[in-house]
Structure 1
């Protein structure tokens, strides 16, 4: 696919995805979501890619929401289809990817933008970022997993307050309540993101994929999540990376993982 709304570059085994609509504060329209879905599928199917860094172009916004003009005339069936397709092809696809996704939030992350960041496995925010779910001001609720993921991250009471008041919170508050992993000065945002992903990409890729699957399962049912963890733990023993990791530990050297 020839991308018009996102930039895609692979550097040192990290796929850098940048939503590139700064004149629209990187708002998510149908075309942008389709391009993201394509890029996510490529990341999952490209062994060279070990992690994904997702950010927005410009200094003002990560993603300032969805493109309201595209759905202003929708009825209930069209609205449901919009949410279902977006969740399946982009937001759930990110959360369930075998590759770790890190959102580098460089400004406003509102509505669908915050939902996009929450779908990622790690969130690093610039110190001047503002985060919120303002959908109720439009007579809507979050439709791309926001009600579920925000509750999982910060708890029911805080999530409902953010959704029902539509208030934005600061980067510092986001870290305080567990919505973001780190808040850093704007100039250090990509450096911090790369620092984290550089550590992750040195680890065993198949083990990382298993860890993603197991940590995601905790949100559904603890009993089944524990069973899944046991199964994924067992699978790791059959990988070449496990053999290499143990050998490197015993030989007091750095492991060289191959993702096999």
Structure 2
């Protein structure tokens, strides 16, 4: 079968495979050439599949639990380029930490560009008590958190941190330290910036940078995504295309998960 006819006949499936991994297909420059594949950086991952990250998860868990009896608050940043799976790793850490009861309470706040201490503490409180509302005073929020967490250890995830202001971080950290005096509280930070990671870590070299995934791991993510999207199997004639797409993901998880 001629390549151009094959691509035309299977274009819907190929486009589907490509879109699942955050790629776009563009028309070839020559009539009999294969379609060109390029990364679509505007797509965002919503997948919860975690492939090839067990080592990252357990290393960070060991960093967190290894200091449980030594510090009131430990901070472990997960740092790396966009799409490496930092948020997925943090979610898995929360899941295992809850399952194994490493912490009494697990909280998640998306920091992004709004690194406001009042907002962050307020969201922490709402996660603990969803009926709490109307508290805008920082002292009142802190007092309520102290009441709720007085005898409990907590794990807080600050996801997607962009703040580089050391004073703003120090202010938030001081408030977190005031919540209770129990050893064993922890913060996991996800960020793209090594500068931010170094600023926020509580122990030297406690930050963790995940490596890129292998082509096979990217392909595994794509297959799982296709199956969850309603495709029980991937036709054998499309598998080679899918594996080529996995290579184009360049080891970056978000491109595999789209």
TM-score interval, smaller chain = under 0.3
Larger radius of gyration: 2
Could you tell me the TM-score, scaled by structure 1's length?
0.26
| Larger relative contact order (Cα-Cα within 8 Å, sequence gap ≥ 6) | 2
* More helix as a share of residues: 1
Could you tell me the TM-score, scaled by structure 2's length?
0.26
